[in-house]
Amino acid sequence: MKVISYNLRKHRAATELDALVERHNVDVLCLQECDSTDIPDNIHGLRLAEATQRNRLGLAVYYRENTYRAVDVRAIALKKSLHDYVLKPAEERMLGVRLHDIDANRDIIVASFHAAPLTALNSLRRHQIRTALEEIEHLGDGLPALMVGDYNYPVFKEKLGQHVRRHGYELSLSDSRTYTRYRFFRGHYDFATSSGFTIDKVKTLPQGLSDHLPILVTARVTQEAALGVA
């Protein structure tokens, strides 16, 4: 399964999505900072599963409809930062979709996530990540799950990795940095957390109109998860 996660920087990079999906033969597309009133129902063979409606800068998930069928969706609000209270950019910061793999006859979960900006503390972002992972379980306890997005966590990633492992997930970084707008803040911001998946590769794609670079996650369901082994 190939999944692209892309923070569109206030929807500026939306015009790049068709080419990205076609070039990389994507199965699932997870967006952050998109305008839900200005996104299509279909992008080069991918169907819109859901987009958040209560956000000024929203989330969306697309899936390849000849491979998957959307079973359920769940959008949740997370603990707010001061930035959220003042500027109100995002009410819902996690959008999860339960997909049925038609050929394999099994369900998986894919989620788009956008953590609070750098004005917030890492402790708040860890709280948001933990809550999002817990909420994913409501879509299907024990199912293979992959959450990708903008984690806004450029430093102390080792501590974050330990944090998500305590909740049964693994943290995967891309092969090069994903944010370049300001020299001091450059680094890895866009991650994948997974359970029941083997992550073969996380590749940073070339930069477009956004200050974030899209990431391409290549993943497969682990043998244990495929067999339903706890």
DSSP 41: S
pLDDT at 120: 78
pLDDT at 82 > cutoff 90: no
pLDDT-derived band at 227, boundaries 50, 70, 90: confident
The mean-pLDDT minimum among 3-7, 31-35, 81-85 falls in 81-85
pLDDT at 229 > cutoff 60: no
pLDDT at 221 > cutoff 90: yes
Query: How many CB atoms within 10 Å of residue 42?
Result: 11
pLDDT at 27 > cutoff 80: yes
Which one of 47-61, 95-109, 143-157 scores highest in mean pLDDT? 95-109
Of all residues in the chain, the percent with pLDDT exceeding 70 is: 93
pLDDT at 207: 95
- Map residue 113 onto helix, strand or coil: strand
**Quick check: 21 and 43 in contact, CB under 8 A?**
yes
pLDDT at 182: 63
Average pLDDT, the chain: 90
User: Bigger pLDDT: 185 or 99?
Assistant: 99
pLDDT at 181: 74
Average pLDDT over residues 74-83: 75
pLDDT at 21: 98
| Number of folded domains that form the chain | 1
Buried (b) or exposed (e) across 186-223, using 16+ Cβ within 10 A? eebbbbbbbbbbebeebbbbeebebbbbbbbbebebee
Q: Which residues contact 211 (CB under 8 A, 6 or more apart)?
A: 7, 9, 179, 180, 181
Strands 58-64 and 28-34: antiparallel
**Quick check: 8 and 210 in contact, CB under 8 A?**
yes
pLDDT-derived band at 84, boundaries 50, 70, 90: low
Please tell me the distance from the alpha carbon of residue 87 to that of residue 33, in angstroms, as a whole number.
14
User: Bigger pLDDT: 206 or 118?
Assistant: 206
Please tell me the distance from the alpha carbon of residue 115 to that of residue 174, in angstroms, as a whole number.
17
Side-chain half-sphere exposure of 59, counting CA atoms within 13 A: 27
**What is the pTM for the complete model shown?**
0.93
Please tell me the distance from the alpha carbon of residue 48 to that of residue 42, in angstroms, as a whole number.
6
pLDDT at 88: 59
- Evaluated on CA atoms 78, 56, 54, 96, the torsion sign reads negative
pLDDT at 199: 98
CATH number at residue 182: 3.60.10.10
Average pLDDT over residues 27-39: 95
Please tell me the distance from the alpha carbon of residue 176 to that of residue 203, in angstroms, as a whole number.
7
- Which residues form the domain of 211? 2-227
**Quick check: 128 and 78 in contact, CB under 8 A?**
yes
pLDDT at 7 > cutoff 90: yes
Q: What is the largest CA-CA distance in the chain?
A: 47
At 195, phi and psi to the nearest 5?
-145, 130
pLDDT at 230 > cutoff 80: no
